Amino acid sequence: MLCVLVTRPEPGASRTGRRLADAGFQPILLPLTETLALPVDAGALADAAAAVAVTSANALLHAPKEVIAALAGLPCHAVGRKTAEAARAAGFMSVSEGPGNAEALADALAGGFAGQTIVYLCGRVRFPGFEERLQAAGVQVRAVETYDTVALDYSDEAVLARLSARPVEAVLLYSAKAAMAMQALTSRPALRSVFEKTRFFALSGRIAAVLGKVAGERIRIAPKPSEDAVLGLLQASR
């Protein structure tokens, strides 16, 4: 049974672990990051705003209820299916599902909101492309950071115990921060042997690039930035 290391934060790690087990893999959960809610002032959030944009379900999961309540009447543009589902569950009344990545969502919104303001529910750690594209098109972006992503540190002993000292055959990487943490783990002398032949499955090329030469030809990039695509790639590699 193929041993697959899941590096995403909880609660997503457990959900992914169940999917892997159902598909006949042996999941090992080792979250390399965690998400923490940030304080947000709900006052005047919706003033002069034409819409809400969300590129991560975590931004909704960590948003205070009063923030959602202040924005729920605005149309919400989610990056993809999972984020759209989270927006509806959070209480947004009008939700549209985007093309699946942040840059494409920005391009889709740019023409319709020039000269207007969009509230962007997001994390403190994020890539700037979404905001830059909208601002270049004349859209005002009001970024509201609802969560932060921090790296988790494990001792060599803790990692080996989690792995039962067996080699890792596959690693799933869903964020650049997790890829950075994985790069650090693979460089530790005590852990090199368990990652020597590991294949890495990344959600995007941007995430894969973080590993650089560490993975070499052992890295695979999902054709779409979704978990379904990553798991499909993993299945195909069996």
Pair (124, 182) in one structural domain: no
The CATH code of the domain that includes 28 is 3.40.50.10090
Pair (89, 64) in one structural domain: yes
Domain, as residue range, for 232: 3-32+152-236
Whether residue 41 contacts residue 157, with contact meaning beta carbons closer than 8 Å, is answered with: no
Pair (98, 163) in one structural domain: no
107 burial type by CB count under 10 A (0-12 exposed, 13-18 middle, 19+ buried): middle
Pair (26, 76) in one structural domain: no
Determine which of 42-46, 66-70, 142-146, 189-193 has the lowest per-residue pLDDT on average.
Answer: 42-46
Q: Average pLDDT, whole number, for the chain?
A: 94
pLDDT digits (tens, 9 = 90+) for 166-210: 899 999 999 999 999 999 999 999 999 999 999 999 999 989 999
Domain count, the chain: 2
Domain boundary among 99, 123, 149: 149
Pair (40, 23) in one structural domain: no
Pair (121, 216) in one structural domain: no
Residues in a beta bridge with 1: none
Pair (16, 68) in one structural domain: no
Domain boundary among 110, 134, 149: 149
Q: How far is Cα 80 from Cα 102, in angstroms, rounded to an integer? A: 9
Q: How far is Cα 136 from Cα 98, in angstroms, rounded to an integer? A: 20
What pLDDT is stored for residue 217 in this prediction? Answer: 85
Pair (41, 142) in one structural domain: yes
Cα dihedral: 219, 224, 227, 233 (round 10): -50
pLDDT bucket at 127, cuts 50 / 70 / 90? confident
Going across the sheet that includes 199-202, the strands are 26-29, 3-6, 170-173, 199-202, 219-221
pLDDT bucket at 146, cuts 50 / 70 / 90? very high
Q: Give the pLDDT mean for 4-10.
A: 96
Pair (10, 69) in one structural domain: no
The CA-to-CA distance between both ends of the chain, in Å, stands at 10
Pair (215, 231) in one structural domain: yes
pLDDT digits (tens, 9 = 90+) for 17-58: 999 999 999 999 999 999 999 999 888 787 889 999 999 999
**C-alpha closest to that of 173 among 54, 11, 13, 1:** 13
What pLDDT is stored for residue 41 in this prediction? Answer: 86
Pair (143, 118) in one structural domain: yes
Pair (56, 140) in one structural domain: yes
Domain boundary among 129, 149, 169: 149
pLDDT more than 70, % of the chain:
100
Query: ω before 11 within 30° of 0 (cis)?
Result: yes
Q: How far is Cα 198 from Cα 69, in angstroms, rounded to an integer? A: 45
